[in-house]
Each structure stands twice: as structure tokens, then as C-alpha cells.
Amino acid sequence: MKETVTLFKREFMGYFRSPVAYVFLAVFLVGAMGLPWFLGGFFESNDASLRPFFLFLPWIFLFLVPAVGMRLWSEEKRSGTWELLFTLPIGIWQAVAGKFLAGWAFVSLAIILTLTMPITIAYLGSPDWGPVFSGYVGSILMAGAFLGICSAVSALTRNQVISFVVSLIICLALVLLGWSAFNELMLALNLPVWLVDALANFSFVTHFEGMVAGLIRLRDVVFFASIIAFSLAITVLILER
Amino acid sequence: MINVRNLVKDYGPIRAVDDVTFDVRKGDILGFLGPNGAGKSTTMKMITGFLPPTSGRTEIAGIDVAERPREAKRHIGYLPESGPLYPEMTVIEFLRFIAEMRGLSGAKAAAALDRAIELCHLRAVRHQPIETLSKGFRQRVGMAQAVMHDPPCLILDEPTDGLDPNQKQEVRRLIASMAKEKAIILSTHILEEVEAMCNRVIIIAAGRILVNETPADLLRRHPNYGAVELELAHGDTGNLRNTVKDLDGVASVESLNGKLLIRPKNQTDLKSLLWNRALAEKWPMKSLEPANLRLEDVFRNLTQKDGESIEERTPPAAREKGQTAA
Ligand SMILES: Nc1ncnc2c1ncn2[C@@H]1O[C@H](COP(=O)(O)OP(=O)(O)OP(=O)(O)O)[C@@H](O)[C@H]1O
Ligand SMILES: [Mg+2]
């Protein structure tokens, strides 16, 4: 446990040792707050809600979470430092958890920095704080699930580019499964409704939408938590060889 | 302290390590030699618990590495080959991280940190990011990391690789200074290093242990072990050659750069034998010296693959010795 905390600290601080972290934060903030504004007509909708912002988030995560997650294990493998790490008295589970939590904390920090937006809205109008709160909880959970998948993929390869692309493809699939246009396409292809529904149930978006609407449902939380637990277990299995 | 039993490692169809067994006791410095790709690093990675063996096991201070990895790892300091480090951290940040991971905190951590920095002469660069250090200094950071918790077992994979002669000497001194209290395994391609500091040598080739003995015993495998070189004042050894050849206790005589290279039979003390003859028969002798024995020759004889078996290529004198040593 103590080792996990030590590793968490090293990893989390590690993000700020390189300028990449600041570039990431800047891109994330501009993207997450700017895109809905440009494309979604954020300020044209008169309801002072963050709905457009949240609905764009999965697409932003799609690129930016793999950018954080690609280096989790690939970099350790490439530079050989995992040899150092795993000859220290730390269990593989603890190491996987420490690195994952540090990455998650970093992405969460980025998400929390966007709180400037509802605060601005609060200044201009009066936002509905319930959905704002649940939306942020959902965003952080969803980011965790994305990052878990990136962790497992990055444990497979020492190449960060491969790690990024494969993570992105898997995450894209998990987002698309719940996208209405995609579901309609599947139905048009004469896939049975139950299959389309089942697949949509695996989508991040399906489980995220409830939270954006203001509902924190247990099954959605369990869904994201199980994705995280499952992908970390896979990471451990891969690293154990 | 370190007990290695029947370690095997397969990489797909390649058997990188093949049934390696040996022991290292406290006070030992074991030199691990072998050509490139022999399986030295692979063996060390298995001993440290980083790499799970295909079969076989390792005990560190009586603790099975596979069964209780974390406990075993507390007893080991490990310098991986080519010293991987976290480049963006400063030396002190990195070493502090290692100390904390090793369970050291407060005054204990500060003392350990201080000791490691002192031992490895890192004080001047301690606030420098590791990526800005020269290779030699990085290697020292790797050493500092390995000895941080004063472990009873040290596993060092090519600790002097890439160092300048002064730093090589420095690292050797450092290792030798810790030898009494620890069991140390080090791999190297520098054979003088083995002669200078190790009290045991293992030569491994294609994953198998070829020899496991003291450096002195290893030297006995040299074809010229016990041989002497004789030089005459006038340089013409032609006549003497036959005389010497017929002496009792001489196995063979060879002319070599105007000198005679004389090999002994039955471990005869050639030097005193020849001195006595030379005095009695008034040979115009200029010098009589033991032949130059280089460990490299032994190493080459043992490890060069040319289809012959190792036994066949070992000269008779060494073969006798090899059998008694084995
Ligand atoms: N990850 C790996 N996958 C496949 N083969 C490997 C792997 N690591 C090592 N090998 C093979 O195992 C054999 C032993 O390699 P090892 O690194 O142990 O050699 P070594 O004795 O340390 O050599 P060197 O003196 O060059 O450091 C080599 O044939 C190598 O190609
Ligand atoms: Mg090696």
C-alpha cells in the first residue's frame, strides 16, 4: 500500500516534469470548452446547462486519454525502467494501481479545470447544479474507463505510437456502440434489435448520458468501475507474462 | 546466500538459459562471464525475480523468489544492464524515490541517501536531471540505487560497462569494499576485472555453465600453464632445443620469437629444473620467465564454437586439472 502511494506520487509529479503535461492541459481545455462552442452552438441554447459540453467529452477523451495512457507501460518497457520497478519490493497489482491512479488523477485534474465554465455560467445565469455535479462524476468515471483500457494496451507494446492507435480504436468502438447514428446503421443492416441493444449497453456513451441528465445510477457506476477493474486485471496478467 | 537451482528459460524455441545451478555465499564475488548472448543477463533477471523462469528456482537468503517475491526482493540490490533510470528526475529525486520504495523513511532514509551518494560520488550532480548526466555518472546512479538499502545480495549486470579507466577502477574499489558483508554476482566482458576482484568465476555459453571455479583454477586450463620462456644471450636456441626436449619433466618445446617456450610434464617445476641445468652446463642464459598466461586465451578456448567439443580442445595438462576441479 505504501509503495502504491510512493509510486503514485512519482508518477503524478512526473507529468509536470515535462512540458507535455502543460500542452496536454491546454489542448484539453481549449478542445473541451471550445469545440462545443464552435460546433454545438453552446451559447445559442438558452438553457444554461452544460449538456453540449458533456456530450462532446467522449470525443475529446477519445484522443486525449490515449495520449496520457500510451506511455503508462510502453515507456517503462521501452526504456527498461520496468526492470528497475519490478525488482523493487512492489507487487505487480500495486504498481499497476499506482500508475493508473496517477494517470487518472492527472486527467481528472484536467476535467476539474473546466469547472471554470459552470462558474462562468453561474455568473451569467443560474445553472442547474445537480446535472453539473453528476456530469462531472460521470466524466471522471468515463475517463477512468478509457484510461484503464489504455493501461492494458500500453502493457502490450513498447511502442507508444502503436499503443496510442490501438487504444484509440478500442475506445472508439466503445463510444460508437452507443452512438444513435451507428445503432440505426446496425438496425438498417438487419441486425436483431436485442443484439443492437446489448451492444449499445456496452457503450460508454449509453452509461454516460444518464449522468449528464442528472442521474447517478448504480448500474452506470458499476459499469465504469468494472471496466476499470477488468482492464487493470488484464494489465496485471500481461505484465506477469 | 544465493542458491540457484536448475534454472531454465525458453524464449519461444530458443533456450536462453539451460539448467544453470550454482551457489554464492556471503563474502563471495562471483564473476559471470560468457560471450554475447550467452544468457548472463537472462539468468540475472531470473535471480532478481524480474523474469519468471521456465523451470528451476532461486533462493535468496533462504527465501524462494517465486513464492515470496517481495520479501526476496528486499534482500537484493540490482543493477540492470545498461542502467535504465527515469531520465526526467534529478538524481536526488530518483534516489529518494528508491529509498521510499525500499521502505526507508525519515532519518533512516536520509542516512541511506547520504551514504549512497557518498559511496558513489554523486554529491556534485545530485540536483541535475538524470538525462543530462554522462554515461559514467548514470552508471553510478544505478549503483547508488542498487546499494541504497545495504542489501545482503548484489546482482550487477556489467557494472563497469561504458566507464573510463579511472571510473572503472573506482567502481571495482567500491564493489571490493562491500564484498566482505555481501554475496555479489557481477557480469563482465573484462577478464582482468575477474582476476582482480572475483574469487569465483562462472563461464556460461549458449545458456550452459562451462566452468565454475576460482580464477586461479581457471588459469590452470591455459595451454601454457606452468610453462616457461627461456632466452639465450646469443639468441640462437637451435642446439639447446633438443637438449631441453629430452629432459625428464618436459612435455614439449617450441621456438617463439627467438625464445624457447617449454611446457612441463606432470606439473614439474620447470624453473628450478632449468636453472640447475643452466648453471651446471653453463648455458649463456639471458632470461627464464614464466610464460604469459592470459585469461582471454582460456576464455576463447572454452567458448569458441568450431564444432569441436570443449573436452577435445582442452590441452592435456589442463584436462587433468579440469577433471579434478570438476
Ligand atoms: N526478450 C527476449 N526475447 C527473445 N529472446 C531473448 C530475449 N531476451 C534475451 N533473448 C535471447 O536470450 C539469449 C541470452 O541473452 P542475454 O541477454 O541473457 O545474453 P547475455 O549473456 O547477457 O549477453 P551480453 O553479453 O550481450 O549482454 C540471447 O540469444 C538473446 O537473443
Ligand atoms: Mg547481458
Q: What is the pLDDT of residues A205-236, one digit of tens each?
A: 888 888 888 888 888 899 999 999 999 999 99
Higher model confidence: residue A203 or residue B9? B9
Task: Give residue B42 CA to ligand 2 midpoint distance, Å.
Answer: 7
Q: How far apart are CA A52 and CA A146, in angstroms?
A: 20
> pLDDT digits over A155-168, tens only?
999 999 999 999 99
* pLDDT higher than 70, residue B118: yes
* pLDDT higher than 50, residue B325: no
Determine whether the interchain pair B85/A241 forms a contact, defined as Cβ–Cβ distance below 8 Å.
Answer: no
Higher model confidence: residue A110 or residue B295? A110
A94: distance to nearest CA of chain B, Å?
Answer: 12
For residue B289, the surrounding DSSP H or E stretch is strand B285-290
Specify the range with the lowest mean pLDDT, choosing from A129-143, B103-117, B310-324. Answer: B310-324
Specify the range with the lowest mean pLDDT, choosing from B187-191, B209-213, B292-296. Answer: B292-296
Q: B234 exposed, middle or buried (CB, 10 Å; 0-12, 13-18, 19+)? A: exposed
Per cent of chain B over pLDDT 90 is: 51
DSSP strand pairing (B153-157 vs B76-79): parallel
User: What pLDDT sits at residue B64?
Assistant: 95
pLDDT confidence bin for A44, thresholds 50/70/90: low
User: What pLDDT sits at residue B317?
Assistant: 43
Q: What is the grid cell recorded at B262? A: 617449454
Please, are residues B80 and B71 in contact by the beta-carbon 8 Å criterion? Answer: no
Count of residues in chain A: 241
Query: In three state form, how does the secondary structure of chain A look?
Result: CHHHHHHHHHHHHHHCCCHHHHHHHHHHHHHHHHHHHHHHCCCCCCCCCCHHHHHHHHHHHHHHHHHHHCHHHHHHHHHCHHHHHCCCCCCHHHHHHHHHHHHHHHHHHHHHHCCHHHHHHHHHCCCCHHHHHHHHHHHHHHHHHHHHHHHHHHHHCCCHHHHHHHHHHHHHHHHHCCCHHHHHHHHHCCCCHHHHHHHHHCCHHHHHHHHHCCCCCHHHHHHHHHHHHHHHHHHHHHHHC
Looking at the CA of residue B44, tell me the nearest atom of ligand 1.
Answer: 18
- Residue B154: closest CA among chain A residues belongs to which residue? A87
Sign of CA dihedral B215, B51, B133, B162: positive
User: What pLDDT sits at residue B124?
Assistant: 92
* pLDDT higher than 90, residue B91: yes
Determine whether the interchain pair A81/B84 forms a contact, defined as Cβ–Cβ distance below 8 Å.
Answer: yes
* pLDDT higher than 60, residue B322: no
User: What pLDDT sits at residue B295?
Assistant: 81
pTM for this predicted structure: 0.85
**How are strands ordered across the β-sheet holding B228-232?**
B250-256, B259-264, B228-232, B285-290
User: What pLDDT sits at residue B11?
Assistant: 92
Option in B78, B85, B103 nearest A87 (CB)? B78
Higher model confidence: residue B238 or residue B151? B151
User: What pLDDT sits at residue B233?
Assistant: 78
Sign of CA dihedral B73, B115, B141, B163: negative
From chain B, pick out residues whose CB is under 8 angstroms from the CB of A91.
69-70
User: What pLDDT sits at residue A42?
Assistant: 53
Nearest 5 degrees, angle CA B23-CA B27-CA B32?
Answer: 50
A92: distance to nearest CA of chain B, Å?
Answer: 10
pLDDT confidence bin for B318, thresholds 50/70/90: very low
User: What pLDDT sits at residue B108?
Assistant: 92
User: What pLDDT sits at residue A43?
Assistant: 54
From chain A, pick out residues whose CB is under 8 angstroms from the CB of B102.
88-89
DSSP strand pairing (B183-187 vs B208-213): unpaired
Span A57-81, average pLDDT: 92
From chain A, pick out residues whose CB is under 8 angstroms from the CB of B63.
none
Please, are residues B102 and A89 in contact by the beta-carbon 8 Å criterion? Answer: yes
pLDDT confidence bin for B326, thresholds 50/70/90: very low
Domain ranges of chain A: 2-240
User: What pLDDT sits at residue A119?
Assistant: 80
User: What pLDDT sits at residue A182?
Assistant: 73
Specify the range with the lowest mean pLDDT, choosing from A48-57, A105-114, B182-191, B275-284. Answer: A48-57
The DSSP bridge partners found for residue B262 are B228, B253
CA A224 to chain centre: 10
> pLDDT digits over B28-78, tens only?
999 999 999 999 999 999 999 999 999 999 999 999 999 999 999 999 999
CA distances from B103 to A85, A88, B67, B286 (A): 14, 10, 21, 65
Ligand 1, atom 17: closest residue by C-alpha: B41
pLDDT confidence bin for A45, thresholds 50/70/90: low
Span B159-186, average pLDDT: 89
| Average pLDDT value for chain B | 86
User: What pLDDT sits at residue B45?
Assistant: 95
Instruction: Decide which of 3.40.190.10, 3.30.470.20, 3.40.50.300, 3.30.70.980 is the CATH code for B2-219.
Output: 3.40.50.300
Fold of B228-290: Alpha-Beta Plaits (3.30.70)
> pLDDT digits over B197-209, tens only?
999 999 999 899 9
From chain A, pick out residues whose CB is under 8 angstroms from the CB of B103.
2, 89
User: What pLDDT sits at residue A20?
Assistant: 85
pLDDT confidence bin for B125, thresholds 50/70/90: very high
User: What pLDDT sits at residue A40?
Assistant: 61
Interface contacts (A, B; CB < 8 Å): 58
Domain ranges of chain B: 2-219, 228-290
Determine whether the interchain pair B70/A83 forms a contact, defined as Cβ–Cβ distance below 8 Å.
Answer: no
* Cβ of residue B27 lying under 6 Å from some atom of ligand 1: no
Q: What is the grid cell recorded at A184? A: 440505426
Higher model confidence: residue A29 or residue B322? A29
AA identity, residue A73: W
- Report CA Rg, chain A: 19
pLDDT confidence bin for B313, thresholds 50/70/90: very low
- Please list the alpha-helical segments (H only) found in chain B: 40-47, 69-74, 91-101, 106-119, 135-147, 165-178, 191-197, 215-220, 238-245, 270-281, 295-303, 310-313, 316-325
* Cβ of residue B14 lying under 6 Å from some atom of ligand 1: yes
Side-chain-side CA neighbours of B119 within 13 Å: the count stands at 26
* pLDDT higher than 60, residue B310: no
Q: What is the grid cell recorded at B177? A: 569494499
- Report CA Rg, chain B: 24
Q: How far apart are CA A211 and CA A221, in angstroms?
A: 9
Higher model confidence: residue A189 or residue B166? B166
Looking at the CA of residue B207, tell me the nearest atom of ligand 1.
Answer: 14
* pLDDT higher than 90, residue B130: yes
pLDDT confidence bin for B266, thresholds 50/70/90: confident
- Closest ligand, as measured to the CA of B47: 1
Higher model confidence: residue A32 or residue B117? B117
* pLDDT higher than 90, residue B96: yes
* pLDDT higher than 60, residue A188: yes
pLDDT confidence bin for B239, thresholds 50/70/90: confident
